[in-house]
């Protein structure tokens, strides 16, 4: 499996196929534009507004467009593996772990030519909604990607096309995190990448919006719960991971991840320290100090270019303690307790999923 960036892959379709596809896209794009006129609006975090569609909040020009097009046009293949998460739950880290694990026979970890050392974490496999589909017209031939295709996405479970949700064989790795740390991470990120002219969003105001569910791809709790419930119905299709667990016992979870993706580590590989090598390669210290992650950029769309360095802040559990008042902690913990009540998802207790 090789690295592919969306810019590298152009559609080698016949003219008729291309025309039909373009017409289909045009029709969806029209629907998206029509929907935009009527959707509830709130103040945005990094864009002027967020709009609410089917219960979730999106930035209108990028995330909603991506979600709409994925929902209507993406066709899963049986071997696809998705990395899904609400924002700031550890996608960058998990993406590199998945890529390094899946490609461990193709690249030498000790070599300076390993793609993760040179291309930035997001180039190793694409964001389905936030990169490929939010750029309209799409110029990526997804059918040409090598199998198993790996895709990352932030879109809520209910937005995934049926070809993903009903496939008995494609897989979803979902990562979540203590919402207190998610909020702090998200607030910092949004303040740093905000579009020109969008005023700063004070922490307290952002906190209230987050608790109300008004955040990109929010409400956070609904995002987690929908994936969780789906995972209870089809446990073989899902691996549910918590950032905190991965931090605490990385080798245990990396081995489970490799097994889940159909590429378990052999005893010989374990003896040779391959698991540790991958963890070292993908560690916060290593990745955040690479030149490509200090100076490189991720071009998500014409309007949204993010410096790779923004994806590496502290990489710690519990940074919320440096920002929260007792009142804020109580409020968000109560929401979590109420929302997750009866679901089997308890923060501080391992989720009861056989894949965890």
- Kindly tell me which of 43 and 313 has the beta carbon lying closer to ligand A3P: 313
Query: What is the torsion angle, in degrees rounded to the nearest 10, for the CA atoms of residue 308, residue 285, residue 191 and residue 202?
Result: 170
Can you read off the two tokens belonging to residue 71? Answer: 């929902």
Q: Is residue 287 part of the contact set for ligand A3P (CB under 6 A)?
A: yes
- Kindly tell me which of 120 and 213 has the beta carbon lying closer to ligand A3P: 120
Spatial contact of 278 and 100, defined as CB atoms under 8 Å apart: yes
Q: Which stretch binds ligand A3P (CB under 6 A): 165-173, 226-234, 280-288, 333-341?
A: 280-288
What residues are paired with 260 via a beta bridge?
A: none
Place of tokens 């609400």: 86
- Kindly tell me which of 58 and 312 has the beta carbon lying closer to ligand A3P: 312
Q: Is residue 277 part of the contact set for ligand A3P (CB under 6 A)?
A: no
Tell me the site size for ligand A3P, rule CB under 6 A: 20
Q: Which stretch binds ligand A3P (CB under 6 A): 57-65, 228-236, 308-316, 338-346?
A: 308-316
Q: Within 10 A of 37 (CB to CB), how many other CB atoms are there? A: 6
In angstroms and rounded to an integer, the radius of gyration of the C-alpha atoms of the chain is: 20
Can you read off the two tokens belonging to residue 9? Answer: 């892959």
Spatial contact of 133 and 64, defined as CB atoms under 8 Å apart: no
Q: Is residue 227 part of the contact set for ligand A3P (CB under 6 A)?
A: no
What are the two backbone dihedrals, phi and then psi, of residue 266, each rounded to the nearest 5 degrees? -75, 165
The C-alpha atoms of residue 232 and residue 46 are separated, in whole angstroms, by: 34
Clarify whether 154 is annotated catalytic: yes
The C-alpha atoms of residue 197 and residue 129 are separated, in whole angstroms, by: 25
Can you read off the two tokens belonging to residue 327? Answer: 């009142």
Residues numbered 81 to 110 that lie near ligand A3P (CB under 6 A) are 85, 88-93
Q: State the minimum distance, in angstroms, from the CB of residue 317 to ligand A3P.
A: 8
Q: Is residue 312 part of the contact set for ligand A3P (CB under 6 A)?
A: yes
Q: Which of 122, 154, 216, 223 is catalytic?
A: 154
- Kindly tell me which of 93 and 159 has the beta carbon lying closer to ligand A3P: 93
The C-alpha atoms of residue 313 and residue 278 are separated, in whole angstroms, by: 21
What residues are paired with 241 via a beta bridge?
A: 175
Q: Is residue 284 part of the contact set for ligand A3P (CB under 6 A)?
A: yes
Question: For the window 148-187, what string marks contact with ligand A3P as x by the rule CB under 6 A?
Answer: ---------------------------------x---x--
- Kindly tell me which of 50 and 290 has the beta carbon lying closer to ligand A3P: 290
Contacts of 38 (CB under 8 A, 6+ apart): none
Q: Which stretch binds ligand A3P (CB under 6 A): 26-34, 215-223, 311-319, 342-350?
A: 311-319
Question: Residues with catalytic annotation?
Answer: 154
Chain residues binding ligand A3P by CB under 6 A are 85, 88-93, 181, 185, 188, 282-284, 287, 311-315, 319
């Amino acid at each position: 499996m090789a690295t592919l960036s969306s810019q590298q892959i152009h559609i080698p379709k016949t003219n008729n196929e291309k025309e039909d596809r373009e017409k289909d896209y045009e029709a969806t794009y029209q629907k998206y534009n029509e929907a935009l006129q009527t959707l509830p609006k709130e103040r945005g975090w990094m864009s002027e507004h967020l709009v609410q569609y089917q219960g979730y909040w999106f930035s209108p020009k990028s995330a909603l467009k991506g979600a709409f097009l994925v929902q209507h046009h993406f066709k899963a293949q049986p071997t696809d593996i998705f990395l899904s998460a609400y924002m700031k739950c550890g996608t960058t880290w998990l993406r590199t772990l998945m890529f390094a694990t899946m490609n461990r026979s193709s690249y030498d970890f000790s070599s300076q030519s390993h793609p993760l050392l040179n291309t930035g974490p997001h180039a190793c496999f694409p964001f389905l909604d936030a990169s490929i589909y939010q750029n309209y017209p799409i110029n990526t031939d997804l059918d040409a990607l090598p199998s198993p295709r790996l895709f990352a996405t932030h879109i809520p479970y209910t937005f995934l096309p049926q070809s993903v949700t009903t496939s008995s064989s494609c897989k979803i790795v979902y990562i979540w995190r203590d919402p207190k740390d998610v909020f702090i991470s998200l607030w910092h990120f949004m303040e740093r990448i905000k579009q020109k002219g969008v005023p700063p969003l004070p922490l307290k105001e952002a906190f209230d919006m987050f608790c109300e569910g008004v955040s990109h791809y929010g409400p956070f709790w609904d995002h987690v719960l929908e994936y969780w419930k789906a995972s209870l119905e089809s446990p073989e299709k899902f691996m549910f991971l918590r950032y905190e667990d991965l931090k605490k016992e990385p080798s245990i979870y990396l081995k489970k991840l490799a097994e889940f993706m159909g590429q378990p580590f052999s005893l010989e590989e374990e003896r040779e320290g391959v698991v540790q090598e991958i963890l070292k390669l993908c560690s916060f210290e290593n990745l955040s100090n690479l030149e490509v992650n200090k100076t490189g950029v991720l071009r998500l769309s014409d309007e949204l270019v993010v410096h790779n360095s923004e994806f590496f802040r502290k990489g710690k559990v519990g940074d919320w303690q440096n920002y929260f008042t007792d009142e804020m902690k109580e409020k968000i913990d109560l929401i979590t307790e109420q929302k997750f009540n009866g679901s089997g998802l308890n923060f501080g207790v391992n989720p009861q999923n056989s894949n965890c």
